[in-house]
């Protein structure tokens, strides 16, 4: 499909009237989808899982056409995370959907309580351009596991990836259950005017605020996965060879266009020189282009002329410079610190990061950093790999977002935890405290306040 055909396809299919039609179809279908059990949801996820494997070459080609993303990077950073999420969900969805019994306090002796996880309904997933497959279909797995209908709005900046997902999901699901809506900011604005039951947004803090304001109009819950100036602290006890290798990989992947990429390095001044030597010696890796000329110009401006022109920019080390904005590119500022307190001060003077990286072999340093900082996540002696751990919650805090994704946390994000309490029909302990409030009942109330 060439560019002209792609534009015609998108324009013909997704007018604002079509958005209304698809939204209404999903509203009409939501209760039937909500009533599906774990077995049916597992089958849907299995279809998605198998389609990703069978259409791997098509996905690779789409990302290459969008911004020359190498096939190996597509495999590892786009396809594999969704496959891992799908496999985990298929193994666990039965236990996730099972009602969870909870004990009753003594004051409610005789009652029975449980938590029932029910679907939220019709959800909207708005995804970014940097990992269009991963960050669209990963949340979709969670939404399906929870029993929802879903409308997906991928980024218009990666049109081939969006069209690829459109074809893939159209073959797997009726649009009354899962639909892809392509288009620009006007389409996103039209979608945000709808009363969705949950919105899952991945992108910049600036756009996240727009999404949250729109959601507030309908009191719609949101999960926001936003950017974050993720720092790296390299302690004097850290393995410098490992630190250089892992930081260079974490910053080079996708040309640094990763929300959890190392944003800047704080290195102990005692090991600065050998660390920089090792970092500069890291071999260049094959990676993608920057997404467009505008983004490339922004990166060149932040580098103050230290990079070549064009959209292919190598990993560039900047010494003693720390831009105020999130870099989101292959620039790596390195700043030395005299003692750990100074490093922690630099981290804590900024917004809470999406992730904090630490390279250290000193348990006291590790514990001190964990106790004295706040971050969405923390990785010790590595970078990026926590995204692949489906048994950990993924998400930010404050400016870097809120709400958690992956595994059970993703399932819960798209679910309503419904509290159910059943009392005996004839008598319950709480009735002893009903009015009239006699002296005897006041003693019971006093006892309750003190001991129950």
225 is a catalytic site residue: yes
Q: State how far the Cα of 306 lies from the Cα of 271, in Å rounded to an integer.
A: 24
Pairing status of strand 264-268 against strand 316-319: unpaired
| 284 phi and psi angles, rounded to 5 deg | -70, 145
DSSP 177-189: TEEE----HHHHH
Which one from 259, 326, 351, 412 is the annotated catalytic residue?
A: 259
Task: Show the tokens assigned to 279.
Answer: 């970092």
| 244 phi and psi angles, rounded to 5 deg | -60, -45
Q: State how far the Cα of 174 lies from the Cα of 177, in Å rounded to an integer.
A: 6
Chain-centroid distance, C-alpha 292: 23
**Do 240 and 281 form a contact (C-beta atoms < 8 A)?**
no
Task: Show the tokens assigned to 244.
Answer: 């250089």
Which one from 78, 85, 175, 225 is the annotated catalytic residue?
A: 225
Task: Show the tokens assigned to 27.
Answer: 């509203």
Q: Indicate the burial class of 443 (C-beta count within 10 angstroms; 0-12, 13-18, 19 or more).
A: exposed
Chain-centroid distance, C-alpha 427: 47
Across the strands, what pairs with 223?
A: 200
Catalytic residues: 225, 259
């Amino acid at each position: 499909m060439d560019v002209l055909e792609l534009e015609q396809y998108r324009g013909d299919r997704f007018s604002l009237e079509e958005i209304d039609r698809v939204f209404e179809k999903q509203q009409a279908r939501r209760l039937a989808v909500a009533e599906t059990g774990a077995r049916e949801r597992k089958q849907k996820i299995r279809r998605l899982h198998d389609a990703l494997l069978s259409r791997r070459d098509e996905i690779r080609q789409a990302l290459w056409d969008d911004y020359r993303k190498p096939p190996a990077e597509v495999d590892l950073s786009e396809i594999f995370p969704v496959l891992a999420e799908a496999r985990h969900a298929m193994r666990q969805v039965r236990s996730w959907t099972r009602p969870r019994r909870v004990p009753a306090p003594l004051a409610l002796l005789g009652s029975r309580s449980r938590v029932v996880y029910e679907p939220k309904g019709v959800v909207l997933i708005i995804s970014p351009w940097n990992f269009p497959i991963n960050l669209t279909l990963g949340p979709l797995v969670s939404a399906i596991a929870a029993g929802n209908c879903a409308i997906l709005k991928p980024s218009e900046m990666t049109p081939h990836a969006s069209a690829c997902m459109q074809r893939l999901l159209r073959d797997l699901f009726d649009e009354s259950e899962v639909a892809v809506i392509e288009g620009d900011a006007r389409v996103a604005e039209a979608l945000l005017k709808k009363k969705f039951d949950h919105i899952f947004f991945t992108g910049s803090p600036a756009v996240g605020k727009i999404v949250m304001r729109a959601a507030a109009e309908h009191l719609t819950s949101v999960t926001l996965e936003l950017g974050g100036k993720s720092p790296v602290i390299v302690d004097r006890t850290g393995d410098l060879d490992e630190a250089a290798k892992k930081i260079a990989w974490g910053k080079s992947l996708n040309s640094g266009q990763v929300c959890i990429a190392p944003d800047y390095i704080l290195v102990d001044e005692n090991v600065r020189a050998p660390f920089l030597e090792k970092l500069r010696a890291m071999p260049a890796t094959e990676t993608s282009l920057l997404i467009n000329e505008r983004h490339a110009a922004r990166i060149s401006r932040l580098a103050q002329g230290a990079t070549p022109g064009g959209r292919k920019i190598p990993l560039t080390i900047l010494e003693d410079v720390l831009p105020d904005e999130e870099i989101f590119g292959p620039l790596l500022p390195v700043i030395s610190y005299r003692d750990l307190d100074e490093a922690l001060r630099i981290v804590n003077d900024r917004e809470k990061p999406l992730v904090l990286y630490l390279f250290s072999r000193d348990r006291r340093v590790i514990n001190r950093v964990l106790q004295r900082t706040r971050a969405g996540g923390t990785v010790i002696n590595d970078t990026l790999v926590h995204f692949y751990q489906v048994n950990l919650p993924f998400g930010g805090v404050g400016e870097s977002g809120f709400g958690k994704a992956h595994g059970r946390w993703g399932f819960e994000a798209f679910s309503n935890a419904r509290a159910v309490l059943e009392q005996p029909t004839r008598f319950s302990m709480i009735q002893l405290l009903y009015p009239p409030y006699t002296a005897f009942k006041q003693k019971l109330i006093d006892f309750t306040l003190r001991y129950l």
